[in-house]
Structure 1
Amino acid sequence: MHTDLWNFALKLYARPGVEAACLQWQDLGGDVCLLLCGMWLSARGVAPNRQRVRQLTTLANAWQADVVEPLRSLRSSWRDNAAKDARLAGLREQLKGLELAAERILLERLEQACQGWTAMPEAELDWISWLAPKGAAVHHDALHRLRVVMHRLRVVMRTAQDAEDGV
């Protein structure tokens, strides 16, 4: 049941309601890659703390600012014109692919930064609160939906791990 962050993110994002909640998170000013990393860590039983959050946030902020956001901004600025120009629409799709590739690299770097962090299943695992965008209400609907998904996911992962361990 131990999966890498990228595959975890793909599976999680495909679950009902997760994409919409992630987009709301992004609209609130949150970093979806950081969120997915936090949810991955939570599912693995790794507790957040100030140092870990700072380390991941610093890494993500730099990559987002230097790589992902410029690609996203350019892609967004082409939206209207691409609707009328097939060749520009093709370039816009290529940008979308580059943006996704950049996010994958970020997730790989975030995973690498977490190597060696041990699970503490009984610890407080609410990465969502630690990573919530500044000013976002703690009980915002998107945050609540993500917490529900995380709770269900932890139960599924715990059950699968128990089966794998022969419990």
Structure 2
Amino acid sequence: MSLPHRDLATEELWVFSLLIYSKANVKEICLYWQDKFGANVNIMLLLLWCDAQQVTLTEQHIKRLQKVIAHWNENYTTRLRALRISAAAEKLPKAAADKIKKSLLSAELELERVEQAMLTATLYQLDSLTEANSTKTAAAQKGNLYTYIALLTPTPYAAHLKQIHDLNQIVEQLG
């Protein structure tokens, strides 16, 4: 396998993300890494999608992806998420609280979708993308997500490695 045509990639990643995020424990693992290590969930989903396409990214590729969305994520996505969370803590009538939460969540998802478009556009600009093969390095054999988490926490615990394995298993089952 390889990456789909560039014009289809953003939509394909979005559909993949919605599907995998709906699977048992995926949301919890992604949010745990987001809160504990500062992981970007869209990068995690992109890396899992690349694994599904049998495309291996290097640390340099992942660092470039992080850099590309850093400004957008920090100034828009993260701020809107914080607003949604803080608004939920306000004492409002239930109907009003539900409407605000729904509106903010919808806007947050659109910001996430823009991030994914930025990531896929950048993915196609990266040099030396390689298709996975039997001679890849030990880190690459663990998948793109392992490379990313190793950038965030140089010594992942056994529990983190199990989570990576579990996510990779879910991707394989979707395949």
TM-score range, shorter chain: 0.7 to 0.9
1:93 CA displacement: 1.8
Q: Is 1:130–2:139 an aligned residue pair?
A: no
Q: Percent identity?
A: 22
* Contact 1:25 1:143 (8 Å CA) reproduced: no
Q: Which residue of 2 aligns with 1:120?
A: 132
Q: Give the TM-score taking structure 1 as reference length.
A: 0.79
1:152 CA displacement: 4.9
Q: How many residues align?
A: 157
Change (3 A) 1:134 1:152: closer
Which residue among 114, 117, 129 is the counterpart of 1:105? 114
CA distance in 1, matches of 2:106, 2:154: 30
CA distance in 2, matches of 1:82, 1:136: 42
* Contact 2:59 2:148 (8 Å CA) reproduced: no
1:137 CA displacement: 4.8
Give the secondary-structure state (helix, strand or coil) at the position aligned to 1:78. Answer: helix
1:96 CA displacement: 0.9
CA distance in 2, matches of 1:152, 1:75: 29
Which residue among 73, 80, 83 is the counterpart of 2:82? 73
1:100 CA displacement: 0.7
Q: Give the TM-score taking structure 2 as reference length.
A: 0.76
Q: Structure 2: 5+ residue runs without aligned partners? A: none
Q: Which residue of 2 aligns with 1:145?
A: 163
Q: Which residue of 1 aligns with 2:33?
A: 25
1:78 CA displacement: 0.8
Which residue among 21, 43, 47 is the counterpart of 2:52? 43
Q: Structure 1: 5+ residue runs without aligned partners? A: 158-167
Q: Is 1:10–2:22 an aligned residue pair?
A: no
* Contact 2:56 2:132 (8 Å CA) reproduced: yes
Change (3 A) 1:46 1:82: farther
Give the secondary-structure state (helix, strand or coil) at the position aligned to 2:46. Answer: helix
